[in-house]
Amino acid sequence: MEMRALGRTGTRVSELCLGAMTFGREADEATSKAIVDRFLDAGGNFVDTANVYSLGVSEEITGRVLAGRRDDVVLATKVRFTMGDGPNDVGLSRRHIRMNVEASLRRLGTDWIDLYQVHCWDNHTPLEETISTLDDLVHEGKVRYVGASNYAAWQLAKALGIAALRNWEPFVSLQPEYSLVTRDIERELLPLCRDAGLAVLPWSPLAGGILSGKYHQGQDLPKGTRGGDTEEPITFTYRLDDRAWRIVDAVRTVADEIGKTPAQVALNWLAYRPGITSPIIGVRNLGQLEANLGAIGWRLEDEQLKALLWASAFPRGYPYDFIEYADS
């Protein structure tokens, strides 16, 4: 598996990152261990989880299945969301971060976290409090690098500016949602990350399953899939519009042309986009992992890329259209 720099750091990570959100939920511990072992044996070295995934269970399983192989792995986790019933059991305050980094270290069975990410913006905590606390964790050796997830461009730019001004550890990565269906980060976040040298680690690269080819327009979402196994609305349902189905059709067409699956085509498109470091793949079983591993090691042709870009085109809006007009 190809190795890439984790932003402007000396650490190298695999071109696919294994997401552990399914551990303890869709995948039991034995299945999770088999998934991790196969991923590492295939050349992967990057594993991502979060304290909130199954309220710590994902971290616990991740720690146990990595026993004996911890030194081979760049391990990432996150902090921000609710971990208890108290008023201080959520957010990015010094108190909450301090309590939860210790809890994550215990659950993961490790002395250090390679990449500690804030899981989302926190409107209730001064940014200086959050960044200074993360800086302390790096200097104490509990954390190697810090990153952000689910930030707006202005929030990320402000955080990078404060870190530079105070000589604190800056974010080295951003974990945003990004896929052929959800390309919004191309407006501001992706250009900012490329300019600042941040690693980009996209989550939901298959748009919640839309790009897997399992769903068909006009048909019920099948059982045994993420969409078909819940009675509650899930994040991608609002994207099942005409544009989404147009993208699915284009992906299926390309997949049929080259003998790949729709999921492999969609993942390949993302893995080799300019500025992308490691898409995060989440799998329930070994079969899904094997299929995802088939998404790398080859490239789409220019005409296929053009077809996918045309099908997934989205309005850039102001001021981007105006700037492009002014430069023409």
Q: Is the pLDDT of residue 230 over 70?
A: no
Q: How many CB atoms lie within 10 A of CB 9?
A: 16
Cα of first residue to Cα of last residue in the chain, in angstroms, is 40
Which of 18, 92, 69 is closest to 289 using CA atoms?
A: 18
**Residue 20: predicted pLDDT:** 98
Q: Which residue has the tokens 């215990």?
A: 106
Domain that holds residue 39: 3-175
- Amino acid in the structure at residue 248: V
Q: What CA–CA distance (Å, rounded) separates 16 from 38?
A: 13
Asked if the structure places residue 11 within a domain, the reply is yes
Question: What's the structural domain count of the chain?
Answer: 1
Q: What CA–CA distance (Å, rounded) separates 198 from 170?
A: 10
Q: Could you report the per-residue pLDDT of 162-171, keeping only the tens digit for each?
A: 999 999 999 9
Q: Are strands 74-79 and 46-48 parallel, antiparallel or unpaired?
A: parallel
DSSP SS3 for 229: coil
Residues acting as catalytic residues: 53
**Residue 221: predicted pLDDT:** 63
Residue 93 belongs to a domain with what CATH number? 3.20.20.100
Q: Is the pLDDT of residue 33 over 90?
A: yes
Asked if the structure places residue 290 within a domain, the reply is no
Asked if the structure places residue 138 within a domain, the reply is yes
- pTM of the model as a whole: 0.94
**Residue 234: predicted pLDDT:** 45
Q: Phi and psi at residue 298, in whole multiples of 5°?
A: -150, 165
Asked if the structure places residue 32 within a domain, the reply is yes
Take residue 288 and report the two structure tokens written for it. 């899904």
Asked if the structure places residue 74 within a domain, the reply is yes
Q: Could you report the per-residue pLDDT of 101-154, keeping only the tens digit for each?
A: 999 999 999 999 999 999 999 999 999 999 999 999 999 999 999 999 999 999
Take residue 56 and report the two structure tokens written for it. 């710590």
- Amino acid in the structure at residue 308: L
Q: Could you report the per-residue pLDDT of 169-214, keeping only the tens digit for each?
A: 999 999 999 999 999 999 999 999 999 999 999 999 999 889 998 8
Asked if the structure places residue 124 within a domain, the reply is yes
Burial of residue 298 (number of CB atoms within 10 Å: 0-12, 13-18, 19+): exposed
Asked if the structure places residue 328 within a domain, the reply is no
Asked if the structure places residue 281 within a domain, the reply is no
